[in-house]
Structure 1
Amino acid sequence: MNTFDCVIIGAGPAGLSASLTLGRARRNIALFDDGTNRNRVTQESHGYLTRDGIKPQQFKEIGLNEVKKYPSVSYFSTTVTKINHDQKTALFIIKTKGNQLFTAEKIILATGIQETFPIPSIREYYGKSLFNCPYCDGWEMRDKPLIIIAEKEAFAMHMVKLLYGWSRDLVVATNGTKLSDEALEQLNKRKISIKTEPIKNLIGDNGYLEQVEFESGEIIQRSGGFVVPTFHRPNQFAEQLGCKVLEDGVVVTDSAGRTTIKNIYIVGETEKASSSSLIVAAADGQKVATSVNMDLAIERF
């Protein structure tokens, strides 16, 4: 088997950026991706200078084409199913869905995160009229009648304060959670409606929200909104490889992507188990790639 200097798992903005930097550093790289990036349902991506409004798939294709120009970078469109660490050789053995095996000196985990929603039907509207990031989609939803779906008070208040700059026509829906008197006072002062009863149904057409129905039978008109999901990594690679992970899901690093296990690096949303913008993830990928390259340079000098 050909041994790569580094295997990068995940071709989102973080993984692509890391691949580009390492490819330009003439490192022998393998990049794996299975197309499950969470922004694939988004119509447009925003906030990335020179690429504002680009479709996520187009962004990815541009990145892949740039990375593939470098002959030392190999791209594999497949799922990595298992990573083992060979203690004798100190190499990592990467197994894919097709039972192919690859070996590498170093690993960058860039598999991102996935959402879990408080109401399953949110998935039907997510990326078209329901979103989780005001910086990404707040402008498009400006001045519209919006709903904020958040089951924890802290998250609900954080989101409503953010969105108040984009739209004043807001309804906060906690899906059964009661709010504190302090929170109620703040919201009532600004004439923001509060619905604490569970949501029964979301009503709309082709991914575009029109109404929200509550358990009481009450139906309100909304043109879209924002939801606070919980996030999780789609795999347990970090845990299985022995990396230290905090209770909140954050993988411990030295701030330059090096985990507590030598030669394993982590980047972007995968590290923090929380959402990030394209531009921040790409910058993080470049930073971690320089750590990998510097470590290789020192070890081989």
Structure 2
Amino acid sequence: MEFDCAIIGGGPAGLNAALVLGRARRKTILFDNHKPRNAITRVSHGFLTRDGVSPSQFRELAAEELTQYPSIQKEEREIDSISQDGAGFRLVSLSGRALYARKIILATGLIESLPKIDGLANCYGTSIFNCPYCDGWELRDKPLVLLSETSQAYRMAMLLYNWSQDLIVCTNGQDVLTLKQQAALREKGLLVESQPVDFLLADKGRLAAVRFADGSMIRRNGGFVTPVLSQNRPFADILGCKRNENNDMITDAFGRTSVRGVYAAGDTATAAPSQLIIAAAAGSRAAIGVNEDLSEETFA
């Protein structure tokens, strides 16, 4: 079976790409393994007319809208391999089913690794989050903690200062802040704690306090963390898509990668900022790129 486009990933980027291609009357198949990175998130913000929607509700509404277009086929299965086959691509699912597509949109998203701190997993998605644009408003002016073992610690602290100036920056024993950065944070009245975090005290996911290795504690009502992000699937690298110095995929304004016929959208292409509305917009651009390229090939 041959499709105009196969979309790998059923998040906001993949769903919106399918919608645009369906409306363009392109025979499209969308693969979704139902393992979204934001599954733990209760509500999402920053998407006009959908502010406060849960990720699961967003996906359900989107899937329902796609059923209006007969050219869109949605498969709840996972792709195991992709290889170039002539002018198109051969995709094989975990079940062994093979199909062909002229174009591919990679929208598989990212996976995240959190710092190894006892109690963090219980708070994540309830009172500790990773995106201030998504959840900063709900935590405004509260006593917060930033947990970061990465070079993003200083940048995130500067952002969070806009939502709450009662902030302690914890690097969990990692040397990720320069002396100049530490001085700048303290000058703004922010606390900097470099010793390891022993435990996060919480009640049903609601953060109450942070306990450090020396036994000291500080009360907090919520906070943010900077997870380490990596590609969910290796398809882009297997196909030979080039990346920049930040490990983001090199794409043009319409999601075209360095490999002809391969497009990328959402977090798969670039890790930040990670929001529903940005990912959906990227999916739309990639779909337009696919449709325009298919149209040009028809008249070539």
TM interval, short-chain normalised: over 0.9
In the other structure, the counterpart of 2:159 is 162
Counterparts of 1:277 and 1:205, CA distance in 2:
28
Counterparts of 1:221 and 1:271, CA distance in 2:
38
One-letter amino acid of the counterpart of residue 95, structure 2: G
In the other structure, the counterpart of 2:143 is 145
In the other structure, the counterpart of 2:108 is 111
C-alpha offsets along residues 23-72 of structure 1, whole Å, 9 cap, x if unaligned?
00000000000111111111110000000001110011111111121000
Counterparts of 1:253 and 1:239, CA distance in 2:
14
Residue 123 in structure 1 maps to residue 142 in structure 2: no
Q: How many residues end up aligned between the 2 structures?
A: 297
In the other structure, the counterpart of 1:3 is 2
Residue 93 in structure 1 maps to residue 120 in structure 2: no
- Paired residue secondary structure (2:48): coil
One-letter amino acid of the counterpart of residue 35, structure 1: H
Q: 1:255 deviation in Å?
A: 2.9
In the other structure, the counterpart of 1:265 is 263
Q: 1:79 deviation in Å?
A: 1.1
Counterparts of 2:212 and 2:80, CA distance in 1:
41
Quick check: 1:231–1:274 contact (8 Å CA) kept in 2?
A: no
- State the TM-score, normalizing by the size of structure 2: 0.95
In the other structure, the counterpart of 1:293 is 291
In the other structure, the counterpart of 1:38 is 37
Counterparts of 1:96 and 1:206, CA distance in 2:
39
One-letter amino acid of the counterpart of residue 291, structure 2: N
- Paired residue secondary structure (2:102): strand
- Paired residue secondary structure (2:81): strand
Counterparts of 1:247 and 1:165, CA distance in 2:
29
One-letter amino acid of the counterpart of residue 23, structure 1: G
For the aligned residue pairs, the C-alpha RMSD in angstroms reads 1.5
Q: 1:120 deviation in Å?
A: 5.2
Counterparts of 2:96 and 2:273, CA distance in 1:
31
Counterparts of 1:146 and 1:277, CA distance in 2:
22
In the other structure, the counterpart of 1:71 is 70
Counterparts of 2:179 and 2:4, CA distance in 1:
57
One-letter amino acid of the counterpart of residue 222, structure 1: R
- State the TM-score, normalizing by the size of structure 1: 0.94
Quick check: 1:249–1:273 contact (8 Å CA) kept in 2?
A: no
One-letter amino acid of the counterpart of residue 23, structure 2: R
C-alpha offsets along residues 144-178 of structure 1, whole Å, 9 cap, x if unaligned?
111011124x5222112211121121111011134
- Paired residue secondary structure (2:229): strand
Quick check: 2:115–2:149 contact (8 Å CA) kept in 1?
A: yes
Quick check: 2:88–2:261 contact (8 Å CA) kept in 1?
A: no
In the other structure, the counterpart of 2:170 is 173
Which stretch of the first structure deviates more once superposed, 269-278 or 61-70? 269-278
Structure 2 unaligned regions, length at least 5: none
Which stretch of the first structure deviates more once superposed, 186-195 or 261-270? 186-195
Evaluate the alpha carbon distance shift between residue 184 and residue 244 of structure 1 in structure 2; reply closer, same or farther with a 3 A threshold.
closer
Counterparts of 1:282 and 1:127, CA distance in 2:
21
Counterparts of 1:189 and 1:111, CA distance in 2:
41
Quick check: 1:177–1:196 contact (8 Å CA) kept in 2?
A: yes
C-alpha offsets along residues 93-140 of structure 1, whole Å, 9 cap, x if unaligned?
111122221211110000111111122543322111111111100011
In the other structure, the counterpart of 2:82 is 83
Counterparts of 1:184 and 1:295, CA distance in 2:
50
One-letter amino acid of the counterpart of residue 157, structure 1: Y
- Paired residue secondary structure (1:48): coil
- Paired residue secondary structure (2:182): helix
Quick check: 2:41–2:54 contact (8 Å CA) kept in 1?
A: yes
One-letter amino acid of the counterpart of residue 202, structure 1: L
C-alpha offsets along residues 247-290 of structure 1, whole Å, 9 cap, x if unaligned?
43211122321111111111111011344211111111111111
Counterparts of 1:286 and 1:31, CA distance in 2:
14
- Paired residue secondary structure (2:100): strand
In the other structure, the counterpart of 1:279 is 277
Quick check: 1:243–1:252 contact (8 Å CA) kept in 2?
A: yes
In the other structure, the counterpart of 2:193 is 195
Percent of paired sites with the same residue: 45
Quick check: 2:117–2:199 contact (8 Å CA) kept in 1?
A: no
Quick check: 1:9–1:110 contact (8 Å CA) kept in 2?
A: yes
Quick check: 2:253–2:285 contact (8 Å CA) kept in 1?
A: no
Structure 1 unaligned regions, length at least 5: none
